[in-house]
């Protein structure tokens, strides 16, 4: 019996990164996590970041690539004591690859829709020995994400004018927190038929602004018959907004929720 509990304890120890004090050489692979690290006062320890981690406090950290197409070499070159990231770190094989090389790497969240974001703040706090500060930040964030009174506004979020955000996406979380209705009921992202765009009658359409070359921008979208015929099209309520704001859950999501309510 004691043998079993001893080996369980040893396994648990091996699974956790171990260092004497808070880590001093951190690489952040995703912007959601980077912003929490900064908010917890650990920006000076960040030696590497992905391209989407644009917080000014991290400007001098080396860029290790883009969070959706990461590779191990630029990370290992920095000899980090700790690598942090969320489910936005892709390809997902980056985690086992880093672990295989003996680099302590911790994925602090599993879900892009942010259902575990508050806990990921707490986990980052634990790893950085800033648990009390993290608890405060997590509670503040949760409060900011409490669902507003239902407005009944019908939202459609499209990443690139084709892929539409359904359930279990960051967009869905933001829409529900704003008291609105995500009219797309499929899981994740998928394209919808022209007939579906019309039938779903969106009142507000949001599109990622960096995809303007594909969408033709607001004017291009409004010119599409399946959009022109919707309430959103008729009232011109089509908005190009940053993907980091509307297609990702992070510390600023409470602000994104308020913005949605004002569109």
- Stretch of residues binding ligand HEM (CB under 6 A), selected from 103-111, 115-123, 225-233, 243-251: 243-251
Backbone angles phi, psi at 207, to 5 degrees: -135, 145
Q: What minimum distance in Å lies between the beta carbon of 24 and ligand HEM?
A: 26
Question: Which letter, b or e, does each residue of 50-84 get, where b requires 16 or more Cβ atoms within 10 Å of its Cβ?
Answer: bebbebebbeebeebbebeebebeebbebebbbbb
- Residue 241 Cα to chain centre, angstroms: 15
Q: Which helix (H) or strand (E) holds 70?
A: none
Report if residue 57 touches ligand HEM, rule: CB under 6 A.
no
Two structure tokens written together for 215: 């969408």
Q: Please give the Cα distance from 97 to 116 (Å, whole number).
A: 24
Nearest CB to ligand HEM, comparing residues 81 and 117: 117
For ligand HEM, which residue of 247, 251, 253, 257 counts as binding (CB under 6 A)?
247
Query: Maximum distance among all alpha carbons in the chain?
Result: 71
Q: What minimum distance in Å lies between the beta carbon of 32 and ligand HEM?
A: 7
Q: What minimum distance in Å lies between the beta carbon of 97 and ligand HEM?
A: 20
Q: What minimum distance in Å lies between the beta carbon of 43 and ligand HEM?
A: 18
Task: Kindly identify the residues of this chain, within the stretch 63-102, that bind ligand HEM according to CB under 6 A.
Answer: 67-68, 88
- Contact positions vs ligand HEM (CB under 6 A): 31, 52, 67-68, 88, 159, 163, 189, 210, 243-244, 247-248
């Amino acid at each position: 019996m004691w043998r079993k509990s001893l080996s369980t304890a040893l396994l648990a120890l091996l699974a956790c990164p171990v260092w004497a004090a808070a880590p001093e050489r951190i690489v952040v692979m995703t912007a959601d996590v980077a912003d929490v690290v900064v908010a917890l006062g650990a920006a000076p320890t960040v030696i590497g970041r992905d391209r989407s981690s644009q917080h000014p406090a991290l400007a001098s950290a080396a860029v290790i690539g883009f969070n959706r197409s990461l590779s191990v070499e630029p990370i290992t070159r920095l000899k980090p004591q700790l690598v942090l990231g969320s489910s936005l770190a892709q390809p997902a094989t980056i985690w086992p690859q880093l672990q295989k090389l003996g680099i302590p790497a911790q994925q602090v969240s599993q879900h892009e829709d942010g259902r575990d974001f508050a806990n990921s703040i707490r986990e980052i706090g634990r790893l950085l020995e800033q648990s009390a500060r993290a608890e405060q930040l997590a509670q503040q964030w949760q409060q900011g994400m409490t669902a507003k009174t239902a407005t009944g506004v019908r939202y459609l979020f499209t990443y690139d004018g084709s892929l539409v955000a359904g359930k279990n996406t960051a967009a869905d979380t933001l829409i529900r927190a704003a008291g609105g209705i995500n009219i797309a009921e499929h899981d994740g992202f998928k394209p919808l038929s022209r007939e579906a765009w019309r039938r779903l009658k969106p009142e507000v359409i949001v599109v990622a602004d960096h995809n303007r070359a594909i969408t033709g921008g607001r004017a291009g979208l409004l010119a599409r018959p399946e959009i022109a015929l919707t309430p959103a099209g008729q009232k011109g309520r089509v908005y190009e907004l940053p993907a980091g704001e509307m297609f990702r859950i992070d510390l600023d999501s409470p602000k994104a929720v308020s913005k949605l309510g004002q569109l």
